[in-house]
Structure 1
Amino acid sequence: MEDDKIVDLISKSNLHIEVREKLKQTLDTATPLYVYNLLQTKESIDLLFATLDGAESQLLEKESNLSIKMLFHIAERDSTLLQNLVLFCAESFSMFMYNDDPVLRKNLFLKSDVYATYLENDAQLREIVFQHLMIEDEQWVHFLHIPLFIFCYASVICFNSDGEELKAFYPDIWGDNFNKLKQVLQHTSKKQPSVFYADFGFYHFKNYEWEGCMYRMFEELNPYHFNQTYVAPAIQRFLDKIGYEDDTTKVLNHVSISRLQFEYEESGIHDSSINELSDELCIIEHLGISEIWCDVFPPQLTKRKLIELKKGEIAQQHGDKWAVFIYKITDVELLKEFGVYDTAIKFLRRVEKIHTRFINGDYSQIKDFS
């Protein structure tokens, strides 16, 4: 949907005025992302507005709280129905969580244990599931509102596992993955990155939004255990990779490891930024610790400068585009000219700040601290 149509829907809604203003602000800034995503389709907007009817704006501040309120609305405020709905969503999500899209063959779904256990003999639950959480056609069932399924999946695991079981289970959920590629376009009003997966790489989650939502849900539902046993070790691995020498060495290692490069138009105007995302960098971004290379604003380059960089094997021309391989630069002053050095320092300081908090034994929710 176009932004102006969404703004019109918000303005004409019966929601509290503070809620309406927060939704408009979210639409403008894409923050928080989980609310922004709910404003992108008519189905999710209808569900969001119904959930927020009569609610204060604080409900928007925590993703897990908003999720349970949405599920409670779908379950028609019936606690028994809600319990069965949560179990159904948790188990059905495991059927497609590592797929590219939330789609299953209809005949396989109707023959599944999940369908037999929860929907086959429960007409009320079946009705609300197909009314709110699924679309079916002759061959396929399409699942809707995936963050609700992820919330249910994380909730069932968190509240039915002890600490040792969870510690062993976390790596199984996300696994070890090949690096992803992130691109941030310069000339968009909202700097929303696009994330790409290598054809030859191995990945658990193939949907970046689902992967991030799963991280956030576990961190909200069980912050102390999750941060201590999974997030803190990941941050430690990242800091080990960039080293513990002076800032210059850290920046050079960070730029090199992330393989940062800038794309320029033939006129010398910056077009986009591209970098690789390791599992550790994904965690740092998903949990809002810091964004990598989203707030760097490279200068416009002259044709002479581009040719000079090409001679130094730092730039390469492809048709009407230029690629500048920032990760090959070892001259700190040149990194500063590109705005990379200061951006990297800001990123590293945020990561180090959380690392220090963890070392001091504070594993509370990251969002409450940053």
Structure 2
Amino acid sequence: MAQFPPPIRNPEVKFTKLFINNEFVDSVSGKTFPTINPTNGQKICDVSEGDKADIDKAVESAKAAFKLGSPWRRMDASKRGALLYKVAQLMERDAQYLGSLETLDNGKPYMNAFGEMMFSANMLKYYAGSADKVGGKTIPVDGDYMCYTRHEPVGICGAVIPWNYPVCMFALKLAPALACGNVIIFKPAEQTPCCVAGSRTFVHEKIYDKFVAKSRELAQQRTCGDPYEMTTKNGPQVDKEQYSKILELIDAGKKEGARVECGGEAAGGDGFFIKPTVFSGVQDNMRIAKEEIFGPVQQIFKFSSLDEVIERANATHYGLGAAIFTSNIDTAMMFVQGVRAGTVWVNCYNPPCYQAPFGGFKMSGLGREMGEYNLSQYQEIKTVMIKIPQKNS
């Protein structure tokens, strides 16, 4: 913990307006909305609420920036990279403040929030180095032609940013888009916790009871409380709506016959805290098995064979991440090939890695983020064919 600077418990809120055309402005309508501290349910401040008129303004400024011959279009790729690198340095400089501000806004434990800032800075550096390395290919084609491809920016991009990792997601959308030469417009989405939380846990029948007992023990040891405390593992849910949804699903699990090993209720107090909850005896047809809870709830299923668990793991509309823990390499490789998920971890779970692509199968999103694969989403491929004159015989 020594590597983490202490949190700022009351970080100053410096900006509450919309950022359009390189300046902070009020919304056209003048509307605002309150942002709530999930730790105590109190208002932090009022933030400008953008709507269609504000998006139109942002699009017009983006069009001007992207116009052929504009300073942005003519900027050297290496200079775009240098700008991204400068943003990364500023983020590192202010990581303590930014992490503290995120903890205030969404209740994420400060250690996690500070880590997100440093991860985001490293991601920006990664794409800063990619800015002048976006190149096409020369392609041998039939006939007297030279053929090559140009990777050109798509243009104006709209990005929906979830609030679970707001700074990380901002960097994830901003960096590759600017590295490829786009201009980019952001829209926040509803607030959600970790999208790859390992809530559906399949355990072999031979070790099931032992695993459930250990999970219960570890969940009971998790500290749920003040997110600014370094020992806190679970902060509050991000808002009242999510808090109520999680409690409603917990109640559904109880009614449908799953066993509550620990937790299963609100933690009390003024904030949106829920006790870390473990369910055993979960069946595939239960709501807690089929719906995304997005909360501190673990569902433990029992299985008996590899073929069975792959089939059951795939029986969902989602497919973002999956993991297997085994000492048998054949079992691991069969699982890797069989499970329908965008990322599969073997003997680990969700290690931070911005160099590798991230995305899901089925309803867990389109395309891939992070790594080289992310760049392709912001590029159009232009094929150029040039007639080559030949010497007269």
TM-score (norm 2): 0.22
Q: Which has the higher helix share?
A: 1
Q: Which has the larger radius of gyration?
A: 2
| Structure number with higher relative contact order (C-alpha < 8 Å, ≥ 6 residues apart) | 2
Q: Which has the higher strand share?
A: 2
